[in-house]
Structure 1
């Protein structure tokens, strides 16, 4: 998701992955599945197939882990601040974990075409030999909105794919 935040003298964009359900909603779905699984496993144990109980528990533990890791990945944030002098990118989960400063006049946005028809294009902020991946969690529609916003803010856009690395040293 791309959100434009207010900023005097520039543009600030908040980039986040799409999240279809809140943490509380995920926990409710997991608890409902726990209830269904325990009813079925309890019925099987009552009929004598008690070995189903540990596997039902393992299944629910694996599902809880998957829900937790997915919810954690959906908490990623990237904040791109564009001023007349510089581009400032901050990335993190719950707190800022990395940041980059690129001079505005020499920085550009490179759009790498997708590797297959289903994948979205990849975005990179480039300054000389330094390149930083930008919002690799966005879908096609959000990438188009982001590119449009960056284009309107005056950032140079390079749609050429980089040359493949040479095999010869």
Structure 2
């Protein structure tokens, strides 16, 4: 998701992954799955198939781990600030982990179209010293909105051609 924040000195964009559920919603879904799995496993255990209980527990632990990892990765954020002749990029999970400052005039936005129908459009800011990917978690519509916002602020755009992909799907 690309969100334009109020910033009197220039442009500030907040980039976050799309989240379908909050943490509380994910916990409720897991509890519902645990209840259904517990009822089914309990019924089979009462019928004499007691060895289903450890497998039901392992299944619930696996689902909980998957929900936790996915939910944690959806908390990533990137903040792009363009003020004057500098671009300031901050990224991290729960706190700022990476911080870059680039000059506007020597920086270009490189745009990479998807190679296959399953890929997403990718962009990165690049100059002579650094190449910084932006919004690797964004979908195509959000990436297009990001490119449009940066282009409106005068960032040079370099469109690359689609690379032919040879694989088992195409």
TM over 0.5: yes
Q: Hey, what does 2:166 align to over in structure 1?
A: none
Question: For 2:162 and 2:89, how far apart are their aligned partners in 1?
Answer: 22
TM-score, normalised via structure 1 length: 0.93
Q: Hey, what does 1:84 align to over in structure 2?
A: 84
Aligned-pair CA distance for 1:87? 0.6
Aligned-pair CA distance for 1:40? 0.2
Task: Calculate the aligned-residue CA RMSD, in Å.
Answer: 1.4
Are the structure 2 counterparts of residues 89 and 19 from structure 1 closer, same or farther at C-alpha, using a change threshold of 3 Å? same
Question: For 1:22 and 1:143, how far apart are their aligned partners in 2?
Answer: 23
Question: For 1:141 and 1:162, how far apart are their aligned partners in 2?
Answer: 18
**Greater share of strand residues, 1 or 2?**
1
Question: For 1:51 and 1:35, how far apart are their aligned partners in 2?
Answer: 18
Question: For 1:161 and 1:100, how far apart are their aligned partners in 2?
Answer: 27
Uncovered stretches (5+) of structure 2, i.e. residues with no partner: 164-170
- 1:123-158: CA deviation from partner (whole Å, max 9, x where unpaired): 110011410111000001101111111111111111
Aligned-pair CA distance for 1:22? 0.3
Question: For 1:21 and 1:109, how far apart are their aligned partners in 2?
Answer: 32
- 1:70-91: CA deviation from partner (whole Å, max 9, x where unpaired): 0000000000001121111101
Which deviates further from its counterpart, 120-129 or 73-82?
120-129
Question: For 1:38 and 1:44, how far apart are their aligned partners in 2?
Answer: 10
Which deviates further from its counterpart, 121-130 or 133-142?
121-130
Aligned-pair CA distance for 1:162? 10
Q: Hey, what does 1:126 align to over in structure 2?
A: 126
Uncovered stretches (5+) of structure 1, i.e. residues with no partner: 164-169
1:137 aligns with 2:137: yes
Are the structure 2 counterparts of residues 162 and 39 from structure 1 closer, same or farther at C-alpha, using a change threshold of 3 Å? closer
